[in-house]
Amino acid sequence: MQNSKTQETLTGLFVACGIAALFFMAMQISNLGSFSSEKVYNISANFENAGGLKVKSPVTIAGFRVGRVSSISINKDFVAVVKMNIASQYKLPDDTVASIYTAGLLGEQYISLDPGGEEEFLEENGVIDITSSAVILEQLIGKFFTDKESQ
Amino acid sequence: MDTKAPPKTDIVCIQNLTFSRGHRKIFNAISLDIKRGGITAIMGPSGTGKTTLLKLIGGQLYPDKGNIIVDQQNVHQLKRTDLYTLRKRMGMLFQSGALLTDISVFDNVALPLREHTALNESMIRTLVLMKLQAVGLRGARDLIPGELSGGMARRVALARAIALDPMMIMYDEPFTGQDPISLGILVKLIKELNNTLGLTSIIVSHDVEETIGIADYIYVLSEGKVAGHGTPEQIRNSDSEWVQQFMKGDADGPVHFHYPATDYKEDLFQ
Amino acid sequence: MIDFLQKLGQTTLTSLGKLGRGYFFLIHTLVGIISVLSRPRLLTKQLYSVGVLSFLIISISGLFVGMVLGLQGFYILSDFGAEETLGVMVAASLVRELGPVVAALLFAGRAGSALTAEIGLMKATEQLSGMEMMAIDPIKRIIAPRFLAGFLSMPLLAALFSAIGVIGGQLIGVGLLGVDDGAYWSQMQSTLDFQDDIINGIIKSIVFGFVVSWIALFEGYDAIPTSEGVSRATTRTVVNSAFTILGLDFILTALMFGDI
């Protein structure tokens, strides 16, 4: 029969450890610590080809993540419409360029934003006009060969 | 069901009770009455469902037919809350004691008080010590049930059963497996408590001598029927062969030594 | 043939009966939880025997599972030159699957079987019956606090398992095999999502905690009150819990991660 005081202390310790572990998972293992609790605003961009972009793919400026892709769809002209959430402290000029790049040769795809010099900033539900689509490896290889033949 | 109102002097009134377990009829339309005050014993060989009878009275089991009326209330027609209220006034002493094994003797006796009353801790302490004193185990309050002997466990259980000052106590085989000293203590306790607290006691037992010594009235059960009833004197002089065999403990009689079987010779040389 | 049909019918009826009893038992227990909340002392004691006593086995298993994941993951990932994603692999497997599932299996073996045996023996020694005769509802007084303790402990234990596992993976991956420490954590953080991974993992462990506690307590309560009956009930708790955990894990995974 264990002393009830020790028992209570150990129980308290157990609960504290458990909650600490939950906190650790939230802050250290997942993206909660760095993002997602912040305020965001929504912008969209149209791409000829969204390639392998996925919902939750990162959106970066100069390699630093400022947001995530929130949805991908196509409009009536069969152009891919990519919506993204950007942390609200990053104000983007109107003439920002959005490009889809691949991390490494085979890595996952992400959107890279290249802010321009306009005075006007993109508002909630703003649209980025200048985009460059995903580079598809097969197209690249195909182009390489046709170029070679025409030489 | 014809529920004739039982007389007020009867605390428990069993009418035409039938109960079966599987295909075996344990009780076949038995009726018996237990008078308020005094000690009534229900006797019979092992396996006649004596414990089952106590559980039926306590409302833990439901009969197939018949009524059990405890203190003017039909046990099996009560709502759950009313049944629980009634049970607070019935104490039951289980054969094993049924003490909670993870808490001390003191906490075991305090359990019904803590659950059912709003008394403060110091009053509970006083009451518990009084009840433990009555069974002579005030000094054992800090032991856990595992450290008690069988007889002591039964006495603690008795202290717990009387904690709420019930109107009656049911004893399930209180004398079984006790050494002579524990036996003497238990017999004395049951008798004393019954007289000093003004209880009604129901003892279920097959220990003939001890039971006859303290009972005021005896029912003898056999094969789902009441085989005989009366005061100890009447039972001793009963003209039923069966009752005589049971009281004297003869090996053969109306209850045969052999379990029913086919012919012995035929069985051997088949 | 008739015999077979009769057997089949009999089995179906007994299982249905048991399911029904289990259902009423659960409802009764859930109602009983309300009364436990007003008496937290009962809960503390059970949290101790259910949670604290499982703490050690869960922590040690978590550490080893994490270390094994670190080793195996490293060998596979290094074939693709992707050692940097070791953190992702270790954390994702732990948080999504191994944490909730293995912790629940260990919990069923450590705490579940103990609960079944305890309740079964209480029944066999007439303690439950005795309480009923004292007008104390054993489901409220005995079962409900244990159920609540199991239900609350499980997510904490699973979180501990995962957290310690991730650290175990780091010990091996970073400490022994030379993966970059920054990459281990940052890749993990940028890939694992709070909502999709952590919350879903916690939901799984809550469901498992609920089911294992239910099975363990019901098997004990429904056990045949003999030593053989209790031992069988204990075995059934472990076997049935394992089946239920793995089956439910598949269903939950399909629901949570099935289509994105």
pLDDT at B35: 85
With CB atoms and an 8 Å threshold, state whether C153 touches A18.
yes
Beta bridge mates, A97: A114, A130
What H or E segment, with its residue span, contains residue B159? helix B150-161
**Interface-testing mutation among B93, B115, B144, with chain C (most C C-beta atoms within 10 A):** B115
**Angstrom distances, CA of residue C243 to CA of B210, C14, C37, C99, C150:** 54, 19, 31, 17, 18
With CB atoms and an 8 Å threshold, state whether C44 touches A7.
yes
**Interface-testing mutation among A11, A36, A59, with chain C (most C C-beta atoms within 10 A):** A11
A34: confidence class by pLDDT, cuts 50, 70, 90: low
Give yes or no for residue B88 having a pLDDT over 60: yes
pLDDT at C260: 45
Give yes or no for residue A36 having a pLDDT over 70: no
Q: Where are the domains of chain C?
A: 18-257
Kindly state the percentage of chain A with pLDDT values over 70: 89
With CB atoms and an 8 Å threshold, state whether C159 touches A25.
yes
Give the Cα separation of A85 and A100 in Å (integer): 16
Is the distance from CB of B78 to CB of B59 less than 8 angstroms?
yes
Q: Both A53 and A120 in a single domain?
A: yes
Give the Cα separation of C168 and C68 in Å (integer): 8
Q: Which domain holds residue A60?
A: 40-142
Q: Both A6 and A72 in a single domain?
A: no
Residue B110: closest CA among B164, B167, B153: B164
B13: confidence class by pLDDT, cuts 50, 70, 90: confident
Mean of the per-residue pLDDT values of chain B? 84
**Residue among C155, C159, C192 minimizing CB distance to A30:** C192
Burial class (CB in 10 A: 0-12, 13-18, 19+), C82: middle
Check if C181 contacts B (Cβ < 8 Å). Answer: no
Query: What ipTM, to 2 d.p.?
Result: 0.78
Contacts of C170 in chain A (CB under 8 A): none
Check if A11 contacts C (Cβ < 8 Å). Answer: yes
Q: Both A72 and A114 in a single domain?
A: yes
pLDDT at C60: 95
pLDDT at A107: 67
Is the distance from CB of B61 to CB of B223 less than 8 angstroms?
no
What are the two backbone dihedrals, phi and then psi, of residue B24, each rounded to the nearest 5 degrees?
A: -90, 125
What lies within 8 Å, CB to CB, of B28 at 6+ separation is: B18, B223, B224, B225
pLDDT at C42: 83
What lies within 8 Å, CB to CB, of C192 at 6+ separation is: A29, A30, A31, C88, C91, C92, C95, C198
B174: confidence class by pLDDT, cuts 50, 70, 90: confident
**Residue among B87, B94, B99 minimizing CB distance to C135:** B87
Q: Both A92 and A132 in a single domain?
A: yes
Portion 114-173 of C in contact with B at CB < 8 A? 122, 125-127, 129-137, 141
**Interface-testing mutation among C156, C184, C202, with chain A (most A C-beta atoms within 10 A):** C156
Contacts of B85 in chain C (CB under 8 A): 135
What lies within 8 Å, CB to CB, of B267 at 6+ separation is: B261
Task: Identify whether A54 is part of a domain.
Answer: yes
First to last CA, chain B: 52
Is the distance from CB of A65 to CB of A59 less than 8 angstroms?
yes
pLDDT at A3: 65
Structural domain total, chain A: 2
With CB atoms and an 8 Å threshold, state whether C189 touches A58.
no
Check if C121 contacts A (Cβ < 8 Å). Answer: no
Q: Both A135 and A76 in a single domain?
A: yes
**Interface-testing mutation among A5, A7, A9, A14, with chain C (most C C-beta atoms within 10 A):** A14
Task: Identify whether A8 is part of a domain.
Answer: yes
Query: In which residue are the tokens 């439910």 written?
Result: C248
Q: Both A18 and A91 in a single domain?
A: no
What does the CA dihedral C139, C142, C143, C149 come to, rounded to 10 degrees? 140
- Compute the nearest-CA separation of C61 from chain A (Å): 15
Contacts of A54 in chain C (CB under 8 A): 260
Answer with the residue of higher pLDDT: C259 or B230. Answer: B230
Helices marked H in A1-151: 4-24, 137-150
**Interface-testing mutation among C133, C136, C140, with chain B (most B C-beta atoms within 10 A):** C133
Instruction: Note the pLDDT tens digit of each residue in A40-92.
Output: 888 888 888 887 787 778 888 888 888 888 888 888 888 889 998 888 888 88
Contacts of A58 in chain C (CB under 8 A): 190
Contacts of C190 in chain A (CB under 8 A): 31, 34, 58, 65
Is the distance from CB of B173 to CB of B205 less than 8 angstroms?
yes
3 state DSSP class of A108: coil
Contacts of C148 in chain A (CB under 8 A): none
pLDDT at A104: 67
Mean pLDDT by 10 residues, chain C (260 residues): 87 90 91 84 87 91 95 89 85 92 94 93 88 87 92 93 93 88 82 83 94 94 91 94 94 78
- Compute the nearest-CA separation of B161 from chain C (Å): 8
What H or E segment, with its residue span, contains residue B205? strand B200-205
Q: What's the DSSP call for residue B143?
A: S
3-state secondary structure string across chain C: CHHHHHHHHHHHHHHHHHHHHHHHHHHHHHHHHHHHHCCHHHHHHHHHHHHHHHHHHHHHHHHHHHHHHHHHHHHHHHHCCCHHHHHHHHHHHHHHHHHHHHHHHHHHHHHHHHHHHHHHHHHHCCHHHHHHHCCCCHHHHHHHHHHHHHHHHHHHHHHHHHHHHHHHHHHHHHHHCCCCHHHHHHHHHHHCCHHHHHHHHHHHHHHHHHHHHHHHHHHHHCCCCCHHHHHHHHHHHHHHHHHHHHHHHHHHHHHHHCCC
Burial class (CB in 10 A: 0-12, 13-18, 19+), A65: middle
With CB atoms and an 8 Å threshold, state whether B84 touches C137.
yes
Answer with the residue of higher pLDDT: B42 or B245. Answer: B42
Q: Both A22 and A62 in a single domain?
A: no
By 3-state DSSP, what share of chain A in percent is helix, strand and coil, each rounded to 5?
Answer: 25, 35, 40
Give the Cα separation of C149 and C146 in Å (integer): 5
Is the distance from CB of A46 to CB of A75 less than 8 angstroms?
yes
**Number of C-alpha atoms within 13 angstroms, CB side, residue A78?**
0
Q: Both A12 and A54 in a single domain?
A: no
- Compute the nearest-CA separation of C134 from chain B (Å): 6
With CB atoms and an 8 Å threshold, state whether A25 touches C163.
yes
Q: Both A110 and A64 in a single domain?
A: yes
Is the distance from CB of B241 to CB of B253 less than 8 angstroms?
yes
With CB atoms and an 8 Å threshold, state whether C135 touches B116.
yes
Over residues B80-107, the mean pLDDT reads 86
Q: How many CB pairs under 8 A join A and C?
A: 95
Task: Identify whether A70 is part of a domain.
Answer: yes
**Residue among B92, B95, B100 minimizing CB distance to C133:** B92
Residue C96: closest CA among C254, C253, C258: C253
With CB atoms and an 8 Å threshold, state whether C153 touches A7.
no
Sign of the alpha-carbon dihedral angle for C3, C5, C7, C10: negative
Check if A32 contacts C (Cβ < 8 Å). Answer: yes
With CB atoms and an 8 Å threshold, state whether C185 touches A28.
yes
**Angstrom distances, CA of residue B81 to CA of B53, B76, B252, C135:** 22, 12, 48, 9
With CB atoms and an 8 Å threshold, state whether C134 touches B95.
no
Q: Both A58 and A81 in a single domain?
A: yes
What H or E segment, with its residue span, contains residue B87? helix B80-88
Q: How many CB pairs under 8 A join B and C?
A: 53
pLDDT at A1: 44
With CB atoms and an 8 Å threshold, state whether A10 touches C52.
yes
**Residue among A14, A24, A34 minimizing CB distance to C55:** A14
What are the two backbone dihedrals, phi and then psi, of residue B27, each rounded to the nearest 5 degrees?
A: -125, 135
CA B59 to chain centre: 14
Q: Both A16 and A44 in a single domain?
A: no
CA C18 to chain centre: 22
Residue C120: closest CA among C217, C21, C33: C217
Contacts of C127 in chain B (CB under 8 A): 98-101
